Amino acid sequence: MKGNFIDNLPKVYGIYTGGFLAFIIIMSIAEQMGMTAKTIGICFVAFTVAIYAIIGYLSRTAQADAYYVAGRQVPTVFNGMATAADWMSGASFVAMAGGIYFKGYGYMALLVGWTGGYVLVASLLAPYLRKFGCYTVPDFIGTRYGGNLSRFLAVVVLTVASFTYVTAQINATGTIASVALDIPFQYAVYVGLVSILLCSMLGGMRGVTWTQVAQYIVLIIAYLLPVFWISNKMGAGFFPHFMLADEVSRIAELEAQFGFVKNSAENLKEVPKGLAGITKAHSAVNATPWAFISLALAMMMGTASLPHVMMRYFTTPSVKAARKSVGWSLFFIFLLYSSAPMLATLSKLSLIDPTLPTGIIGKSISEVQAIDWYQNWNQANLMFVSDFNGNGTLELNEFFMGGKAVVLATPEIAGLPYVISGLVAAGGMAAAMSTADGLILAIANAISHDVYYKIIDPKAETAKRLVVARVLLVVIGFAGATIAAMEIQGILGSVIWAFDFAMSGLFFPLVLGVWWKRANREGAIAGMALGLISGAGYLIWVRSGGSGFLGITQLTFGIFGSAVSLVAMVVVSLMTSAPNAATQKMVDEVRVPSGKSILGKQH
C-alpha cells in the first residue's frame, strides 16, 4: 500500500471489517455442514484474539511519544472508535441489557450517566488536558499544582479506581474464555490475561489504539446483528429502535395481567444464587427522582475523572480534534447503548408473551423443562423454573434468569443459528479485553512515568523507562488476574465503585485546575486525599451496616466523596497563598488552543 499508515486507515479497517464479515459467513456455512457448536465458539474467539495479537505486534515501538500517546496522530473518528471500545466493558456488553431487563427505569440511570459524562469531558477537561501535552492524568496534576506529593496522590487515586475496574474486566475475559474454550475458569483467567497483554506489551498506547479500533468493529457487529435479526424474526419491526413501541406497551399489558407476585423467602431459597425473576415494571417510572438523578450524576462525574478515558484524548493531533473526538466517541457508544433497551424488550417479550411460539409463561412446567434451550441454560446455571404454587403451570414469579442470559441466551431462544452465539462470545471478549488494556496501561503508565521517571529517577533513559513500563504492565496484569481468579466481587458492582472512587479523588482537582486559577497545591492535596478517604470511608460504613444519609447508597458514595473534596479544596486553597505567577501564566496558556503545548514533546 502506498502512503503512510495513518492515511490508509479507512482502507485498512475497511478490509478488516470485510474480512470479519466473510469469516462470519464461512462459519455459518460450516455450521450448515455440521461443525459443532463448540468448534465454532473456539474458532470465533481464537481467530479474533489472533488478529488483535498481530496488530499489537505490528504496532511495537521504542519511542516514549509513541508508547505513551500513540505519537499524537490518531485521527478524530478512529480515536472515537478506540475510546468507545476502551469505554464499553464486559459490563456494558454482557450485563447492561440484563440490568435493564430486571430493574427497568432505576437501572437506566446508568445509560444516561455513562453518556452524559462525555459532555463534561468535552467541555470541562479533554481539550485543555490535550493542550497541556501531558502523557498521563497525574502528569497534569503534578505539573499544574507542582510537587511530588500532589503527583503521587493522583497516582494513588488513579490506581485505586482503575484497579477496582480492571479485576472485573479480567474476570469477564476469563468467563468468556472458559465457556468458549471449555477450560476451567482459574486457567481461563490467565488465557484472557495473556490475550490482553499481547495487545499492549510491545506497542503501549499505539498498540492499544489500533487493537481497540479492531475490537470496536467486532463488538458493535456482535451486538447489533442479533438485535436486528431477532426483531425481524419476531416480526417486531425492521428497525427495532424506532418500532418497538407496541412491544413495550404489550409488556406493560402483560405485567398488569400477571401482576408481580412476591415470593416467600422460603421459596426463594430454592433459586440458585445470582438468578432473578421479573419484579419491576419494564417501562414505568419505578425509582424516585433522587435515586435516579444521584446515580446518573455519580456516573457522569466519574466518567470525567476516569484516567483511561481521559488519556485517549491525549492521542489526537490537535486540541480541536480532541473536542470533536469526544463527540465521535459518544456517537459510537450511543450505537450500542441505545440498542441495549431494545434487546431487553425483545428478550422479555419473547419469553413472557403466551401468544408467541417462544413464550413460556402459562405453559406447563414439564413442557418448559423439556425445551432444549431451557435445559442448556439451566445447566449453565443461568435459568431456573419452579412450581411454587403447585398448579403445574409456569407463572411470571416462578421463572428466574441470570443477568448475562439476556445477551447470551436470547439469540438461541429466538431460534437464531449457533454462529450468532459464537459471534456474541467474540464481541464480549473484545469488549472486556479492550477495556482491560486501557486500564492496565493507565496504571502502568502512571507508575512508570509519574512515580518512576518523574519522582524516583528523572535521569532515566527512554529505553530504560519503557522497560520499566512494560514490566509494570505484566505485574499489574498478573495482580489483577490473581484477584479476578478469586471471584470476590460481581462485575457490575465493582465497575460502579470505580466511578465513585475516581470522582471522589480526581474530579474537582482536575476541573478546578483548569477553571479556577486560584486553586493551589495545598488545596489539591487536601481535595484528593480527603475526597478519596471520605468516599472510601462512606462505602465501608454503608457496607458494614451503616444507614447512610441523603439517600446516598454504596453505589453513589462518590457524591459524598466529591462534595468533601470540593469543600476541602476550596477552603484549603483560600487559606493558603495563591499559586505563583508562573503557574498562573501556565493556566492562561492552557486556556488558549493555539501555540505550543505546556509540556514539551519529549518529557
Partner 1 sequence: MSKQEQHWEKSRGLLFMTLAIWFVFSIGIFLFGAEMNEVTGPFGYPLTYWFTCQGSLGAFVILIFWFANRQEKIDEEFGFSERGDD
Instruction: Compute the least distance from the CB of residue 355 to partner 1, in Å.
Output: 20
**Which amino acid, one-letter code, is at 410?**
T
Instruction: Compute the least distance from the CB of residue 109 to partner 1, in Å.
Output: 8
Nearest to 478 by CA among 45, 167, 67, 164: 167
Cell 439517600 maps to which residue? 551
- 319/127 Cα distance (integer angstroms): 5
Cell triple for 322: 480532541
DSSP string, 375-430: HHHHHTTSEEE--TT-SSB--GGGEEEETTHHHHHHHHHTT--HHHHHHHHHHHHH
Cell triple for 205: 498506547
Instruction: Compute the least distance from the CB of residue 84 to partner 1, in Å.
Output: 12
Instruction: Compute the least distance from the CB of residue 278 to partner 1, in Å.
Output: 16
Instruction: Compute the least distance from the CB of residue 593 to partner 1, in Å.
Output: 5
- 191/170 Cα distance (integer angstroms): 10
Residue 10 or 415: the one with the smaller Cβ distance to partner 1 is 10
Is the Cβ–Cβ distance between 395 and 258 less than 8 Å?
yes
Residue 73 or 171: the one with the smaller Cβ distance to partner 1 is 73
Is the Cβ–Cβ distance between 503 and 302 less than 8 Å?
yes
Instruction: Compute the least distance from the CB of residue 241 to partner 1, in Å.
Output: 7
- 77/356 Cα distance (integer angstroms): 42
Instruction: Compute the least distance from the CB of residue 243 to partner 1, in Å.
Output: 7
Instruction: Compute the least distance from the CB of residue 293 to partner 1, in Å.
Output: 5
Instruction: Compute the least distance from the CB of residue 120 to partner 1, in Å.
Output: 7
Residue 164 or 347: the one with the smaller Cβ distance to partner 1 is 347
3-state DSSP of 59-96: CCCCCHHHHHHHHHCCCHHHHHHHHHHHHCCHHHHHHH
- Residues found near partner 1 in the complex (CB under 8 A): 75-76, 105, 108-109, 111-113, 115-116, 118-120, 122-124, 127, 241-246, 248-249, 283-285, 287, 289, 292-293, 296-297, 300, 316-321, 323-324, 326-327, 330-331, 334, 337-338, 341-342, 588, 591-594
Residue 153 or 278: the one with the smaller Cβ distance to partner 1 is 278
- 507/492 Cα distance (integer angstroms): 22
Instruction: Compute the least distance from the CB of residue 283 to partner 1, in Å.
Output: 4
Instruction: Compute the least distance from the CB of residue 556 to partner 1, in Å.
Output: 14
Please give the backbone phi and psi of residue 399, each rounded to the nearest 5 degrees, phi first.
Answer: -115, 125
Residue 151 or 348: the one with the smaller Cβ distance to partner 1 is 348
3-state DSSP of 175-216: HHHHHHHCCCHHHHHHHHHHHHHHHHCCCHHHHHHHHHHHHH
Residue 192 or 237: the one with the smaller Cβ distance to partner 1 is 237
Give the number of other Cβ atoms within 10 Å of residue 243's Cβ. Answer: 13
Burial of 376 (0-12, 13-18, 19+ CB in 10 A): middle
Residue 279 or 318: the one with the smaller Cβ distance to partner 1 is 318
Give the number of other Cβ atoms within 10 Å of residue 433's Cβ. Answer: 34
Residue 314 or 374: the one with the smaller Cβ distance to partner 1 is 314
Angle subtended at Cα 288 by Cα 286 and Cα 293, rounded to the nearest 5 degrees: 110
Report the run of H or E that residue 549 belongs to, with start and end: none
Residue 52 or 328: the one with the smaller Cβ distance to partner 1 is 328
Residue 132 or 418: the one with the smaller Cβ distance to partner 1 is 132
Residue 251 or 385: the one with the smaller Cβ distance to partner 1 is 251
